[in-house]
Amino acid sequence: MAEVIDRKNKITRILSHLFLMAGTITMVLPFFYMVGSSFKPPPEIIAWPPTFLPKNWTLDNYLTLAEKAPFVRFFFNSLFVSAVSTLFILFTSTLSGFVFSKYKFPGKNFLFIIILATAMVPFETYLIPLYIIVKDLRMINTYQGIILPYAVMSFGIFLMRQNISSVIPDELLDAGRIDGCSEWMLFRIVVIPLSASAIGALGILAFMQAWMAFIWPLILATSREMYTMEVGLAMFQQRFTIEYGGVLAGSTISIIPIIVVFLILRRSIIEGMTLTGLKG
């Protein structure tokens, strides 16, 4: 009897591994196809039957990329926008998280509810008035304009509030106050160092969020110099439907930094994203 169950278990386990393996292949196949093809000379890219690995390896698609469109500029724009957005989010989230977790003041709950409630409204639904406001501020086609909606993050405030209230004991803050620290100094010398790991995790999420943004930079960047990597790629593939080599090389370049970071910080990224409801 026990043997039968054992065998049945073994078969189920093997079957489930087979199923998971098949899924794994489906997940990575598009990536392999893209990276492999980006090293093919153009005629081989559109050869029939399609192949995964190039017969003749070439770097041409990458080397000529900068001539076809200002991808260096796109890459820099994405990097700059994401970095500044991340810095803003880290600062505003840590400071507000500190205030919301360690102080009592009138209107506290109301303000916190506003932060969470406005995050429930999808960005796409209030895009138009936001655009008009940014236009009135004369920020169309500027870095400030592209960054503005990504300067604060409701989830970041929520995360830092949770973290600070569990990691930093009130006694420590009181001890600091007795030693003559101002509230601001407490924030700088106690709160920031002690919540460093949460700040790091939030930083990755904030960076990825800004890097992946599409519809907002698409609307805001009216000249090519202001395109982010995502917008630049989308425009480039629209204009040159035949230029597969360049499109594939550009896509590979835009994906690789994120995949490398993901493989290094896998655990904290997965944890962070499953906690947040943040999607890709």
Partner 1 sequence: MRQGVSKWSLERKRRTFCYLSLLPVFGIFTIIRIIPIARTFILSLTDASLISLKSNFIGFENYKNLITDDLFHQALVNTTLFAFSTVCLSVVLGLLLSLLMKRKTTLSPLYETIYFLPVITPMVPVAIIWKWIYDPSYGLINYMLSWFGVKPIGWLVYPNIALWAIVILSVWKVVGYNMMIFLVGLRNIPSMYYEAALIDGAIGANLFRYITLPLLKPILLFITVVTTINSYNVFTQVYVMTTGLQGAPGNTVRVLVYDIWENAFRYSRMGYASAEAVILFSIILLLTLVQFKIVKSES
Interface of this chain with partner 1, residues 209 to 268, rule: CB under 8 A: 211-212, 214-215, 218-219, 229-231, 233-234, 237-239, 241, 244, 247-248, 250-252, 254-255, 258-259, 262-263, 266
Contacts to partner 1 from residues 52-91, by CB under 8 A: none
Nearer to partner 1, 194 or 273 (CB): 273
In the complex, the smallest distance separating the C-beta of residue 77 from partner 1, rounded to whole angstroms, is 14
Q: Choose, by CB under 8 A, the member of 75, 80, 131, 143 that binds partner 1.
A: 131
Counts for the chain of helices (H) and strands (E), in that order: 17, 0
Can you read off the two tokens belonging to residue 49? 């039957």
In the complex, the smallest distance separating the C-beta of residue 263 from partner 1, rounded to whole angstroms, is 7
Let me know: does 96 contact 247? Beta carbons within 8 Å. no
Location of structure tokens 């196949």: 29
Three-class DSSP labels, 98-154: HHHHHCCCCCHHHHHHHHHHHHHCCHHHHHHHHHHHHHHCCCCCCHHHHHHHHCCCH
Nearer to partner 1, 58 or 237 (CB): 237
**Of 56-64, 65-73, 194-202, 269-277: span binding partner 1 (CB under 8 A):** 269-277
State yes or no: residue 7 binds partner 1 (CB under 8 A): no
Q: Helix %, strand %, coil % for the chain, to 5? A: 80, 0, 20
State yes or no: residue 139 binds partner 1 (CB under 8 A): no
In the complex, the smallest distance separating the C-beta of residue 251 from partner 1, rounded to whole angstroms, is 4
Give CA–CA dist 97/165, Å, rounded: 9
